[in-house]
Amino acid sequence: MSSIIKTSIVDIPKKAEENDLFGIDKYKNGLIRFISNSDTPITIAIQGEWGSGKTSLMNSLQDNLCGGYLTADDLKEHSHDFYGVWINTWQYSLMKSESETLVSIVTGISTKILEIINARHKSSVQKLGNAVFSFGSKIFKKAAAVAAEHTLGESAGTAIDSILEKEAEQQTIKHLRDELQISINDCLENDKKIGKEKKGFIFFIDDLDRIDPAIAVQILELLKNIFDLNNCIFVLAIDYDVVVKGLKPKFGELTDKNEREFRSFFDKIIQMPFSMPVASYKIDDFLIENLSKIRFLNEVQSKDTALSEKISMICNLSVGNNPRSLKRLMNTISLITIINEENEANSSDGKIENESLLINFALICIQISYPLIYKCLCIESDFKSWNEDLANKLKLRELSPHEIEKLKLSEEFDELWEQILFRLCEKDTYLSNRASQISQLLNLISTYITDGANLGEVIEEILELSAVTDIQAFDKPQQAINKGVVLKSVGDALIPLLKSQLPSYFPDVRKQSKKVQSNYYISYSKAKEGWKDWVGLTVSNNKEVLSLVIWSHPWLLHSNSNDMRKDLKELGFLEAFENIGKSYNEMLTRFPKFIMRFPGISSSGIANKKWHVPHLTFLYNFNNPQELTEKDVLNDIASFTTEHMKLYAQLMELSKAYNEKYKQMK
């Protein structure tokens, strides 16, 4: 693992000399060979969504074919096959009108050609210079005049179209085009005479997808009209979708009937389309290298192949392979990692288990990729308990009986909670297209929950780690508290109170974990090592209320069926179980400030189809952390916890007897 400590990943295109972490060198090398041996003129379109790596690829092409970005001094000793001209259309469009943008890009390209020829041969380029000046001044003045004649709302593209139809202006464009061709030919001929033969000029036109699509289309037309020259190759970073949007004023909305017109325009400009091979990106190396640099993975974890594969799978189901999205993910994780480092470690030895790490990673991916799903997890963290109550709260539409039966045939949506997810995804086109992936991702998260742990509690605890980077419109800000400080204060004050109230039951009540960050554990087991009998404390603040959470380890029962009461009855333990349940209900009546998190002590799920896993969790809501240190409140919490621990001990005895009898019967 790298010893260099980094806290952020810069979202800039990859430099040509940087390592290929996405495994696309074969595509780049093939494109280099194709360009190097192409007949001219030719225009190549590098297609891909924003952030897919188009600029990074063009950087590599320019470096290999043209020698990168060269100064006038560099050009004197230029040894590559092509001269390179880089034009960032976004920069040329800043603080300019549409007509100014069009003219400045054309004059910018022409001026850079002038600079190369002048630096290379010190030859006379006066005629070309005059042609460039003539084009800029005449076309701009005419564009402004024509645009003024049109009704408000018509673009400068209309003005340019009108100009290109005028014979006088056509002559201006033809004159510039002829002078460009003559100058380029003379430059290459002079290179040949001095024994440094070149193949031509390559023009890299970047960021066309950042400007207005209609202007991008006009730029394409101007480039075709002016720079369709021998010995010239154009490499454009543009997506076909941008062209479609830019042609809508001309052809209307894209339909099956007029799709040919859109495609014909694209084919007229572009001779070779190249789509970024995003689906083929091998993101494992990128993820592991950068997660190690930001210290999310330790040295052992960074070399764990199985862990790397799981991280990659989570990414593929959420953020995807877009480099820009991956960099944002890295920065989000880095900030969360730094904040957590400011507190003490999660467990007594300071290590974070792989399962918790994977869940944390997955939840951050959901936060970035599927914010609506993340918000629902904040509302109800136990996603496998999502039901009609949540559906009504979110105003989801009802499914017809036919739709339900159809969904049950799908592995991703055969359960009730998955059908709630399906209905939730319908609220957004992006989510609807990825509903199956989201279901797979949530199911994957559930496999990382350790047997016996409660899904909702684990998710809720880890959600708090990512809350600082959540972006939700119109949400109220959460109250920021230092959980470690609050828990240590409350837990340390509770232990002596519990010791005074529990000597006959548990003579060895003590603090279990040495360090406190998100949880405070109180042990009452005689065993000095391990985690046998304990009660846990944490603080929750992700549901617009502050709560002290008190919970105990699940009490496991072997299962014959999905019905826990049925299994208890068959082995003769149902009556004893129900008596303990009544005692818990009476306890809650005596302590009205405490709320049972799940419905009754029989709240259960099936872990690996082998166990009933009931959980006992209680909430004590408060207004501010200082309230928890008040004497009356601490006494109330201690008294409640004492009674809970006594009843919980009865549950543990019952489960022990049940499981022994279960084994005997088997």
pLDDT tens digit sequence for 351-391: 457 888 898 899 989 988 998 999 888 888 889 989 888 89
Which has the higher per-residue pLDDT, 335 or 172?
A: 335
CB 462 within 8 A of CB 356: yes
The residue-averaged pLDDT of 41-59 equals 82
Question: Which alpha helices (H) appear in 557-630, and where do they start and end?
Answer: 564-570, 574-590
Over residues 237-246, the pLDDT tens digits come to: 887 777 788 8
DSSP state letters, 86-134 = EEEHHHHHTT--HHHHHHHHHHHHHHHHHHHHHHHH----HHHHHHHHH
d(CA 2, CA 343): 24
Domain total in the chain: 3
Residue that has been written with the tokens 């179980």 in this structure:
577
Percent of the chain with pLDDT over 90: 16
Domain assignment of residue 474, yes or no: no
d(CA 105, CA 92): 6
**Last residue of some domain: 279, 307, 328?**
279
pLDDT at 177 over 70: yes
Domain assignment of residue 510, yes or no: yes
For 13-21, which contacts have Cβ atoms below 8 Å and span 24 or more sequence positions? 13/53, 13/55, 13/56, 13/59, 14/53, 14/56, 14/59, 14/60, 14/323, 15/59, 16/59, 16/60, 16/62, 16/63, 16/64, 16/68, 17/63, 21/285, 21/286, 21/289
- What is the model's pLDDT at position 132? 58
Task: Count CB atoms within 10 A of the CB of residue 170.
Answer: 13
Which has the higher per-residue pLDDT, 145 or 493?
A: 493
Is residue 290 located within the same domain as residue 426? Answer: yes
Domain that holds residue 270: 25-279
Tell me which of 17-31, 91-105, 443-457, 600-614 is least confident: 600-614
Is residue 368 located within the same domain as residue 268? Answer: no
Tokens for 534? 């304990």
pLDDT band at residue 609 using 50, 70 and 90 as cut-offs: low
Tokens for 353? 């288990």
pLDDT at 578 over 80: yes
Q: What angle do CA 648, 652, 654 make, to 5 degrees?
A: 115
- What is the model's pLDDT at position 435? 93
Is residue 514 located within the same domain as residue 602? Answer: yes
Residue that has been written with the tokens 């005692």 in this structure:
583
**Which one, of 342, 598, 325, lies nearest residue 485 by Cα?**
342
Is residue 626 located within the same domain as residue 517? Answer: yes
CA distances from 460 to 442, 463, 477 (A): 14, 5, 17
pLDDT at 522 over 70: yes
- What is the model's pLDDT at position 183? 82
The residue-averaged pLDDT of 278-294 equals 78
552 phi and psi angles, rounded to 5 deg: -125, 160
Mean pLDDT, the chain, rounded, equals: 78
CA distances from 554 to 9, 478, 607 (A): 41, 30, 11
Give CA 27 to chain center in angstroms. Answer: 25
- What is the model's pLDDT at position 22? 66
pLDDT at 588 over 50: yes
Over residues 420-460, the pLDDT tens digits come to: 999 999 988 889 999 999 999 999 999 888 766 678 777 87
**Last residue of some domain: 255, 279, 303?**
279
Q: Write down how long the chain is.
A: 666
Domain assignment of residue 3, yes or no: no
Strand pairing class (534-540; 546-552): antiparallel
Which has the higher per-residue pLDDT, 524 or 142?
A: 524
Cα four-point dihedral sign 430, 434, 439, 443: negative
Percent of the chain with pLDDT over 70: 77
d(CA 294, CA 302): 12
**Using H for helix, E for strand and C for coil, what is the string for 504-537?**
CCCCCCEECCCCCCCCEEEECCCCCCCCCCEEEE
**Last residue of some domain: 439, 469, 499?**
469
Is residue 312 located within the same domain as residue 455? Answer: yes
pLDDT at 505 over 70: yes
- What is the model's pLDDT at position 23? 66
- What is the model's pLDDT at position 257? 79
pLDDT at 170 over 80: no
Is residue 162 located within the same domain as residue 264? Answer: yes
Over residues 73-95, the pLDDT tens digits come to: 666 677 788 988 888 888 877 76
Which has the higher per-residue pLDDT, 393 or 148?
A: 393
Is residue 162 located within the same domain as residue 187? Answer: yes
- What is the model's pLDDT at position 508? 80
Domain assignment of residue 19, yes or no: no
d(CA 386, CA 35): 55
Tokens for 113? 């050609």
CA distances from 107 to 79, 92, 387, 475, 525 (A): 26, 11, 63, 49, 81
**Which one, of 106, 107, 128, lies nearest residue 117 by Cα?**
128
Tell me which of 125-134, 222-231, 352-361, 427-436 is least confident: 125-134
The residue-averaged pLDDT of 294-317 equals 88
- What is the model's pLDDT at position 350? 43
d(CA 343, CA 348): 13
Is residue 266 located within the same domain as residue 348? Answer: no
- What is the model's pLDDT at position 152? 34
Which has the higher per-residue pLDDT, 257 or 232?
A: 232
d(CA 314, CA 558): 32
Q: E strand or H helix at 617, and its extent?
A: strand 616-622
pLDDT band at residue 149 using 50, 70 and 90 as cut-offs: very low
- What is the model's pLDDT at position 397? 92
- What is the model's pLDDT at position 229? 86
How many CA within 13 A on the CB side of residue 450? 10
Percent composition of the chain: helix, strand, coil (DSSP 3-state, to 5) = 55, 10, 35
d(CA 154, CA 177): 28
CB 180 within 8 A of CB 128: yes
Domain assignment of residue 259, yes or no: yes
- What is the model's pLDDT at position 345? 44
Tokens for 5? 């400590």
- What is the model's pLDDT at position 122? 64
The span from the first CA to the last CA of the chain, in angstroms, equals 50
Is residue 207 located within the same domain as residue 324? Answer: no
Give CA 55 to chain center in angstroms. Answer: 20
- What is the model's pLDDT at position 458? 79
Is residue 253 located within the same domain as residue 304? Answer: no
Domain assignment of residue 406, yes or no: yes
Over residues 528-546, the pLDDT tens digits come to: 555 567 888 888 765 567 8
- What is the model's pLDDT at position 156? 41
Domain assignment of residue 420, yes or no: yes
Tokens for 420? 């709630």
Domain assignment of residue 422, yes or no: yes
Is residue 240 located within the same domain as residue 286? Answer: no
Q: Residue type at 133?
A: F
- What is the model's pLDDT at position 197? 84
- What is the model's pLDDT at position 193? 81
Q: E strand or H helix at 445, and its extent?
A: helix 435-447
Residue 38 CB partners (closer than 8 Å, separation 6+): 233
pLDDT at 148 over 60: no
Tokens for 277? 């091979």
pTM for this one?
Answer: 0.57
pLDDT at 66 over 60: yes
CB 98 within 8 A of CB 213: no
CA distances from 509 to 414, 494, 501 (A): 46, 10, 10
d(CA 66, CA 53): 19
Is residue 133 located within the same domain as residue 266? Answer: yes
d(CA 332, CA 339): 11
Over residues 631-653, the pLDDT tens digits come to: 999 999 999 999 998 898 888 88
Paired with 534 in beta bridges are 523
